[in-house]
Structure 1
Amino acid sequence: MPRARERGAGGGGREVKITFLIHNAYGIGGTIRTTLNLAAALADRHDVEIVSMLRHRARPRFAVDPRVRLVPLVDLREGSPDAADPRLHEPAVAFPAAEKRYRQYSRLTDLRAEEYLRRCTADVIIGTRPGVNVYLARFGPRGALRIAQEHLTHDAHSKRLRAALARHYADLDAVVTTTEADAAVYRARMPLPGVRVVAVPNVVPEPPIPPSDGAATVIAAAGRLVRGKRFDLLINAYGQVAAKYPEWTLRIYGAGPERERLTELIGERGLDGRARLMGARSPIETEFAQAAIVASASTAESFGMTLAEAMRCGVPVVSTDCPLGPAEIITPGVDGLLVPVDDGQALAGALLELVSDETARRHMGQAALVSARRFDPGPIAGRYERLFAELAESRRTRSRSTVWRRRLRRVLRR
């Protein structure tokens, strides 16, 4: 790998310096969680750093492995020097305007990202959202392996943003999606000659708590309270469960703009006290382990972290078969059930199937524990290490080929 260093005595293998670029490591979200998980897994063998474009609080909400350095670039906290910098209020130029987070970026963010990347000495740099990946393509050192992770699906980006990404991603070494289905879409719709497009699932560590025994009369769900998660559909489906099994409750974990509307819906359906909005929780596994079923009614998922986290807790999952993640996580009838998107009757039927059959729930929960091992940190970190090695070898091959072509041209000129 580029600039690889031998590990110290007893370390074994080769150590590289790996830098992750993230939007805001101090918040709550699936990308933050999985980046911290992967960074910790790679820190077993490598020198790992996470660079947060923004910082809005003193400490991260999620625990950061002590072996992983966290470097914020722009401090948004009241009273910080950056908060008084006039460039913070100037629009970003390098960050793509079509990116959903564009208004959170500024000329100051542009300049800090460029300054950091120009002097970065990492062997591998991994961006974790589209606009940050553009920073990496524009300013990242050519000597490093530069990799764009995509935690959103190709089709979740606007046409305008996809056009911008195609231009910049062509300068990177690889694009990594979280599902094989999304990788196939990128290969078909965003041709990137010479750029590897591969799928590597998210790291989902084994939680340090006992798994669910399947006996609790609780259905759980988690995620941002936004329309795309279709918690309204889930509440309506749960209403059919509650009518037949009044002892069963629904707990929805998360925060977001739909909270008021969902609260009203719960009241309208006469489900007060049985369907409850619990607010955000971290770690969510503690809550999932107290449930017998975890449900998702989303219209789209780039991966489906909550599904994998639930399975890690020995809980079977009922999910819509939405693009693109659930079908690669759940084996229907084995560790969970899949239902069509936007089909409230099918969702209610799947929930009733598991609610009414404790034996099936327990068997699926045990199967979920086994199948979720594929998200162990070690194997996922190993897939990234192999990718780094393959990209480095590809570079050497291209470099030798370039040298040979130059020599041939010199010979032909004589």
Structure 2
Amino acid sequence: MRALARKGKSAMRRLYRGYNRRKMLNAPPPSTRKVSILLLHAYGMGGTIRTVFNLASYLAKEHDVEIVSILKEAEEPFFPVDPRVKFRFLDDRINPSSDPLRAMLSKMPSRIIPKEESAYHRFNLWTDLKLARYIRSLDTGVLMATRPGLNLAVAQLALPNVITIGQEHVALRTQAEPMQELIKWRYRRLDALVTLTKADLRDYRETLPKKPKKLARIPNAVPPMTGGISKLDAKVAIAVGRMTRIKGFHRLITAWETVAAAHPDWTLRIFGAGPQEENLAQQIVEAGLQGKVELPGPTSDVGAELEKASIFVLSSRHEGFPMTILEAMGKGLAIVSFNSPHGPKEMITDEVDGLLVKPRTNANLASSIIRVIEDEQLRRDLAAGALETALTYDVDAVGEKWDALLAELLARRNGTYVRPQPAATDASASPASGPDGPPATSDGQAPA
């Protein structure tokens, strides 16, 4: 029976490949004219959504850009939308169709998205059908996915003439083992994999047995924000994010008990919403921090709220590339962050444009916040350093990296790509590879 099953799977693979080849015969040539970006919930709130909107706005200058949202669970977008960017929704859960097939398939679990994907519960067999149909409807252009489950689906289902890009917003090492195994063997089918941090890029280089044609690190850009630079005179610290355990707001509130005891005239505001919101509100009451810790809810105007604060605090134990740090830097706040191994550690130079808290304990977090409160010169020096760092993440500077990537992927497809020659090195220079591991070749791969 097993041998028969193996033969059946092999036959299906041959049929699938043959179908792809027939589709290619009539397909237009590869192109970057149209860029489609897959998101889970485009009208929701979150760092990934905000960064995708930012990228889409930049790309819309030269490309036809469409954001394809798996779900529609709100009537209006939470974040501002560039009118040049189009939207498509695969599963409208506000005004669902009366299709009996939808009603039946929506009750069945997803078969495309792995169970270990953190958003697995948001998918079902109906979203599988809509997602597969959409991916298979594309015969050219660029298709970009923005989370592991969608990256895997694109790698498996996209037609050969479509240029495929997987974008990772979370660190490889935080993925469950079964997910990492799928990533190891399926990501090689992508044209490119883009990480946000050097550390994550290094992990993928070392982990993937066979790699996509291009491995690259392109950070997020500072998004446009309203208002001006913080004057640093408000006795307010701010934190922003979805209220989940991984964001560590419960730890921040515990640390604030110490801060409030030393500086009762300072206020902590935590903006966001999520499953931990009620627990956090109860924790504030139990700690006697009413009026000292506020939960104003989510805000679509992050810039205006950052401008009203002097200190930004990030209490996550793990982060990919937190946009909130970039936004706080762009507003000239003094930043205090746990020394998370990927994003914050790369984004912040300790004592220059922020403070990295290590070891990552509640007591050390409280101590660092108090230090910034009590030392005004340090607060202003960190804020000035943050403004300088934010300039290196300007949307045009980051956008040019995406322009270069799309141009290279297209050149690879049409046979015009010429690998740049490595720059000549000084014979007296040390051959050591440096903190990021082996030097990368022009296509982002480590040399053999």
User: Common fold, TM-score beyond 0.5?
Assistant: yes
Corresponding position of 1:70: 87
Is 1:50 equivalent to 2:67 in the alignment? yes
Corresponding position of 1:152: 170
Change (3 A) 1:399 1:348: closer
Give the stretch that moved more between structures: 355-364 or 273-282.
355-364
Q: Which amino acid aligns with 2:271?
A: Y
Give the stretch that moved more between structures: 270-279 or 299-308.
270-279
Deviation for aligned residue 1:350: 1.2
Structure 2 residue runs without a partner (length 5+): 1-27, 419-448
Q: Which amino acid aligns with 2:204?
A: Y
Corresponding position of 1:180: 198
Give the stretch that moved more between structures: 217-226 or 197-206.
197-206
Q: Which amino acid aligns with 2:404?
A: R
3-state SS of paired residue (1:348) = helix
Q: Conserved in 2, the CA contact under 8 Å of 1:221 and 1:252?
A: yes
Change (3 A) 1:82 1:353: farther
Q: Deviations over 1:194-219 (max 9, x none)?
A: 53221111122242311101000001
Corresponding position of 2:161: 143
Q: Deviations over 1:8-51 (max 9, x none)?
A: xxxxxxx7211101111011111111101100011112111111
Q: Deviations over 1:115-163 (max 9, x none)?
A: 2122225521110011111221122121121010011110121111111
Corresponding position of 2:24: none
Deviation for aligned residue 1:263: 2.3
Corresponding position of 2:47: 30
Is 1:60 equivalent to 2:77 in the alignment? yes
3-state SS of paired residue (1:242) = helix
3-state SS of paired residue (2:41) = coil
Q: Conserved in 1, the CA contact under 8 Å of 2:339 and 2:360?
A: no
Change (3 A) 1:365 1:109: same
Q: Conserved in 1, the CA contact under 8 Å of 2:30 and 2:414?
A: no
Deviation for aligned residue 1:236: 2.3
Change (3 A) 1:143 1:122: closer
Take 1:92 and 1:261, find their aligned partners in 2: how far apart are those partners? 31
Take 2:359 and 2:67, find their aligned partners in 1: how far apart are those partners? 36
Corresponding position of 1:258: 276
Take 1:251 and 1:141, find their aligned partners in 2: how far apart are those partners? 47
3-state SS of paired residue (1:220) = strand
Q: 1:214 aligned to 232, 236, 247, which one?
A: 232
Mapping 1:71-90, distance limit 5 Å: 71-81=88-98, 85-90=103-108
Take 2:209 and 2:399, find their aligned partners in 1: how far apart are those partners? 27
Structure 1 stretches of at least 4 aligned residues deviating more than 6 Å after TM superposition: none
RMSD of the alignment, in Å? 2.1
Q: 2:213 aligned to 182, 186, 195, which one?
A: 195
Corresponding position of 1:163: 181
Q: Deviations over 1:80-134 (max 9, x none)?
A: 3469532222222222232222222122212212221222255211100111112
How many residues are matched? 390
Give the stretch that moved more between structures: 305-314 or 228-237.
228-237
Corresponding position of 1:8: none
Corresponding position of 1:286: 304
Take 1:59 and 1:277, find their aligned partners in 2: how far apart are those partners? 23
3-state SS of paired residue (1:307) = helix
Take 1:121 and 1:171, find their aligned partners in 2: how far apart are those partners? 16
Deviation for aligned residue 1:287: 0.9
Deviation for aligned residue 1:277: 1.6
Mapping 1:226-241, distance limit 5 Å: 226-241=244-259
Deviation for aligned residue 1:366: 2.3
3-state SS of paired residue (1:363) = helix
Corresponding position of 1:326: 344
Structure 1 residue runs without a partner (length 5+): 5-14, 401-414
Change (3 A) 1:58 1:264: closer
Corresponding position of 1:267: 285
Q: Conserved in 2, the CA contact under 8 Å of 1:74 and 1:82?
A: no
Take 2:336 and 2:127, find their aligned partners in 1: how far apart are those partners? 41
Deviation for aligned residue 1:166: 2.1
Q: Which amino acid aligns with 1:265?
A: Q
Q: Percent identity?
A: 38
Change (3 A) 1:294 1:172: same
Q: Conserved in 1, the CA contact under 8 Å of 2:330 and 2:387?
A: yes
